[in-house]
Amino acid sequence: MMTPSHHAYVPFVSVDKMMKLVLTLGIERVLLDLVAEIEADFRRWPEFDKTARVASHSDVGVIELMPTSDGETYGFKYVNGHPSNMKNGLQTVTAFGLLADVATGYPVLLSEMTILTALRTAATSAMAAKWLAPAGATTMALIGNGAQAEFQALAFKAVCGITEVRLYDIDPAATAKCVENLAGRGLRTVACTTPEQAILGAQIITTVTADKQYATILTDNMVGAGVHINAVGGDCPGKTELHRDILLRSGIFVEYPPQSRIEGEIQQLPADHPVTELWQVIAGTATGRTDARQITLFDSVGFAIEDFSALRYVKSKLAETGLFDNLDMIADPNDPRDLFGMLLRAA
Ligand code: NAD
C-alpha cells in the first residue's frame, strides 16, 4: 500500500528570505545578474506568449495580473499600484509571483515580489539606458525619491557607470531618506530643492514619482538635446509624468506596445505614433540612439517577461543559498483520483 501523502511542496521565498538572498548575493551583483537575465529573455522575445496585463482599476489605484510563458515555464505576477497608500503608511506597490511547469501545470516557485519588482524595474531601466543613453554618461537626475529610488540609483551605477545622482522629491524627507540609504555606496548624491536644479548637468533623467493623474514632472524646456529619459512612474491610464511636447521631440522606446499604448507616456499620443520596441534594439533588429543630439525616452511601464526573468533568477539561486521554505500549497494525493479519500484521512 502506498504511504498516504498529499505533499507536492512548492518552494516559497518569503520577504525575509528575499532580503537575505539579495544581501547574501550583493545588491549590485543581483542588479547586474538581472540585467543579464532580462536581456537574454528580451533576445528571445518572439518565443514568449505575450499579453497586455489584466488591470482592475479603481478610483485610488490598480490591481494587475501579469502573465507570460516561454512554452516550458509559465509565470505571473500579482501587483498593485496605489499612489495614496503611502500617506496611510502602506506601500504604493506590492507584489508576489509564481512560476509553474508548463508540462504538468504544477507551481515550481511562489515568491514575494515587492522587493523583486523594485530590483527588476531598476535592472530594466538600466538595461534600456545601457543601449540608449549617451556614451560616457556620469550624472543622473532622480526625480521621485520613494520606494523604487535607491534601486534605480544603484542599477545605474552598476550597469551604466553613473557616479553622481541628483535627487529631487516634493517631499524633502524622501530625498533625505534616499541620501542616507545611498551613503557609502560609491555614489555622489546631491539633494536638490527643485526639479530644475536636479537636472543640471544630468545626461540621464529618471522620473519615478507616484500620482494618479496626468502630472508634468518634466516640462519641455527642461529637456536638452542628447539626454536620455527613463520615465518609470507613468504606468497607468490617466497617470503620466512628461509633457506631451517632450514625447514629440524624442525617440521613444517601449516594452510591449499593446500595453504601453494604454499605460505609458505614449497614451498622450495618437495610436500610430512611431515607437521602437526595446527588445528589437537588444536583438539587433532595430536602431537605438541615432546620434549624440537625439533625446531618447524609455517609456517604462513594466512587462511580464521582466518578472518571469526575475523569478527564474531567484529560482536558480535557491539550491545554492537554501533561502526558501517548502509550502504545502498543492493537494497531491498518491492516488490522483482519490482526492476525497485524502481529505477523509486528514481527520
Ligand atoms: P512611492 O510612493 O514610494 O514614491 C513616490 C515618490 O514620488 C514619493 O516620495 C512622492 O513624494 C514623490 N512625488 C510625487 N509627486 C511628485 C512630484 N510632482 N515631483 C517629485 N516627486 C513627487 O512609489 P514607488 O514605489 O517609488 O513608485 C513610484 C512610481 O513608479 C509609481 O507610480 C509606480 O507605479 C511606478 N512603478 C513603475 C514600475 C515600472 O515597471 N515602470 C515599477 C514599479 C513602480
Spatial CA neighbour of 239 closest among 262, 213, 267, 271: 213
Ligand 1 centroid vs 145 CA: distance in angstroms?
Answer: 7
Q: Does 132 lie in the same domain as 90?
A: no
Asked whether the predicted pLDDT for residue 208 surpasses 80, the reply is yes
| Across 284-302, average pLDDT | 98
Residue 183 lies inside a defined structural domain of this protein: yes
Residue 309: the pLDDT is 99
Q: Does 240 lie in the same domain as 296?
A: yes
Of 77, 115, 208, best ligand 1 pocket probe by most atoms within 8 Å of the beta carbon: 208
Ligand 1 centroid vs 320 CA: distance in angstroms?
Answer: 34
Q: What are the CA-CA distances from residue 84 to residues 31, 87, 88, 167, 169 (Å)?
A: 28, 6, 7, 22, 16
- Which of ligand 1's atoms lies nearest the C-alpha of 121? 40
Residue 169 lies inside a defined structural domain of this protein: yes
Q: Does 268 lie in the same domain as 128?
A: yes
Contacts with 36 (C-beta within 8 Å, 6 or more apart), sequence order: none
Residue 280: pLDDT band with limits 50, 70, 90: very high
CATH of the domain at 59: 3.30.1780.10
Place of cell 499604448: 261
Residue 211: the pLDDT is 87
Q: Is the CB of 169 under 6 A from ligand 1?
A: yes
Q: Does 202 lie in the same domain as 81?
A: no
Asked whether the predicted pLDDT for residue 2 surpasses 60, the reply is no
Per-residue pLDDT of 214-273, as tens digits, reads 899 999 999 999 999 999 999 999 999 999 999 999 999 999 999 999 999 999 999 999
Q: Does 210 lie in the same domain as 136?
A: yes
Exactly one of 33, 41, 169, 235 is catalytic; name it: 235
Q: Is the CB of 97 under 6 A from ligand 1?
A: no
Q: Does 140 lie in the same domain as 110?
A: no
CATH of the domain at 184: 3.40.50.720
Residue 250 lies inside a defined structural domain of this protein: yes
* Residue 110: domain span: 8-115+305-338
Per-residue pLDDT of 148-187, as tens digits, reads 999 999 999 999 999 999 999 999 999 999 999 999 999 9
235 is catalytic: yes
- Which of ligand 1's atoms lies nearest the C-alpha of 168? 20
Asked whether the predicted pLDDT for residue 42 surpasses 50, the reply is yes
Residue 212: the pLDDT is 76
Contact 288, 250 (CB under 8 A): no
Residue 1 lies inside a defined structural domain of this protein: no
pTM over 0.95: yes
Ligand 1 centroid vs 208 CA: distance in angstroms?
Answer: 5
Q: Which residue has the higher pLDDT, 200 or 214?
A: 200
Q: Is the CB of 208 under 6 A from ligand 1?
A: yes
Asked whether the predicted pLDDT for residue 3 surpasses 70, the reply is no
Q: Does 332 lie in the same domain as 291?
A: no
Q: Does 311 lie in the same domain as 241?
A: no
Residue 111: pLDDT band with limits 50, 70, 90: very high
Task: Report H helices in the chain.
Answer: 15-25, 27-43, 114-132, 149-160, 172-182, 195-198, 244-249, 257-263, 278-283, 304-316, 318-321, 339-345
Asked whether the predicted pLDDT for residue 1 surpasses 70, the reply is no
Q: Which residue has a Cα nearest atom 42 of ligand 1?
A: 121
The angle at the Cα of 110, spanning 263 to 11, to the nearest 5 degrees, equals 160
- Which of ligand 1's atoms lies nearest the C-alpha of 148? 26
* Mean pLDDT over each residue of the chain, to the nearest integer: 96
Q: Which residue has a Cα nearest atom 30 of ligand 1?
A: 233
Q: Is the CB of 152 under 6 A from ligand 1?
A: no
Per-residue pLDDT of 57-73, as tens digits, reads 999 999 999 999 999 99
Asked whether the predicted pLDDT for residue 109 surpasses 80, the reply is yes
